[in-house]
Amino acid sequence: MRTLRRMVTPPLLLAALCLGQGLRLVPDIAVAEAEYRDAQDAWIRNDPTLEKDLYKANPEEMRRRIRRAAALADDVIVKKEAYFGLFIQRLKDTRARLDEARESGIPAEALKKDLDAQQMRLLGDQDRLDLLLRDLPPGDEYALVRRQLEAERGDLINAQNSIALRMRSLDNIDKAQQATQGAEDVSAKMDAIVQVWEQERARAVRERPTWARLYELMENSLGKPAGESAAKGVAGATARPAAPAAAAVSRAAVAPAAPAALGAGISGVWTYASQPGAWTGYGEPESVTLDLHIDASGAVRGTYSARLPVRNGVHDVQLSLAGQARPSATSAQVHWRSQTPPAEGDLEIKVGSDGRMLVARTQSNDSYIPRGMEVLLRH
């Protein structure tokens, strides 16, 4: 096989030189994405007990484990940045093709297929993250991994909502199909999508020194008194994450239990009160009210009303809920329906150990009602 390669390669190079063409390897976005996902999985699964063993195992062994985790985390960020760069370039190439096609109309159907493929890929990524979050054991030692996964999940939800808005715009343009004016409109929308992905790439670049500093603090804390090191480690870890919503939820998970609130389960009236990191989505909700009731069979009925920010303003949302409570009566997955506009989807409801309720809009078939999350308090 090596002999065959040596025989074939020189003629190819000579032919390219004779034709006056340079050889260029075109990077494959699918390969870049696969490498990024593989690196992310390798980092997440590498050492799940690292934080738990930090002050228990041999210091030299822990230093090796910390450096291994730091190298894997850095590899994730590098490959994430490369993947995002290729994806942004694809969007820019699509944008350039739109400029060339202004006189002949807008390829709305092709753009919608491309956006739909992106949406399906993002939904698959979210399902994968949901499985990883579900499989993570409870405990403080997994807080760092959980924060990273929840931050990734929030980013995916924002990207999905943005793509859904673009698809709706393309539908309207396809119906009108005014060549010149429509092409300019689509170009502006594509620029907005490119801007979102460029912001995500910039965020990945900012995360790289943050994670490096975190692992450096962990390594430097070895050999100090356990109490002092643990306190500094927790302070450093919670002060630097890039996703405040995920950090708030993680802090809620370790707060002292509230027996009275837990005893009441999810039944009752819950409302949103402004607090740091208590939401994900386009912006902080103006208001949220959740009214739930559970009967003797565990069936859940209720209503959800809210004013939710979206890219173009604020939407008033009125949902009717129906589902089944889990045996603990502190969590449930319910199906929601909306009359105006006609839409449906799913809500995930869970009361934390501190008595606060996490409400996540995990599925929605209409972008008027965006995905997102709020932390509610018992009214």
CA distance 184 to 167: 16
Class of domain 259-378: mainly beta
The share of the chain scoring above pLDDT 90, in percent, equals 17
pLDDT above 60 (res 4): no
**Global pTM value:** 0.36
**Predicted pLDDT at 143:** 79
Q: Answer yes or no: are the C-beta atoms of 213 and 111 closer than 8 Å.
A: no
DSSP structure class, residue 151? H
Q: Answer yes or no: are the C-beta atoms of 94 and 114 closer than 8 Å.
A: yes
Q: What is the mean pLDDT of residues 288-317?
A: 90
**Predicted pLDDT at 2:** 44
**Predicted pLDDT at 254:** 39
Q: What is the pLDDT of residues 223-280, one digit of tens each?
A: 654 444 444 444 444 444 444 433 344 443 434 333 333 336 888 999 998 876 678 8
Q: Which residues of 331-363 are buried (b: 16+ CB within 10 A; e: fewer)?
A: bbbbbbebeeeebebebbbbbbbbbbbbbbbbe
Which residues on neighbouring strands pair with residue 290, listed in sequence order?
A: 270, 304
Q: Which of 19-23, 75-79, 324-328 has the lowest mean pLDDT?
A: 19-23
Q: What is the mean pLDDT of residues 289-318?
A: 90
Q: What is the mean pLDDT of residues 85-114?
A: 77
Burial of 136 (0-12, 13-18, 19+ CB in 10 A): middle
Q: What is the mean pLDDT of residues 295-322?
A: 90
**Structure-derived torsion over alpha carbons of residues 35, 117, 97, 37, reported in degrees to the nearest 10:** -10
**Predicted pLDDT at 103:** 55
> In the chain, what are the domain boundaries?
29-253, 259-378
Neighbours of 328 (CB within 10 A): 12
Torsional class of 26: left (φ above 0), alpha (ψ -120 to 50), beta (otherwise): beta
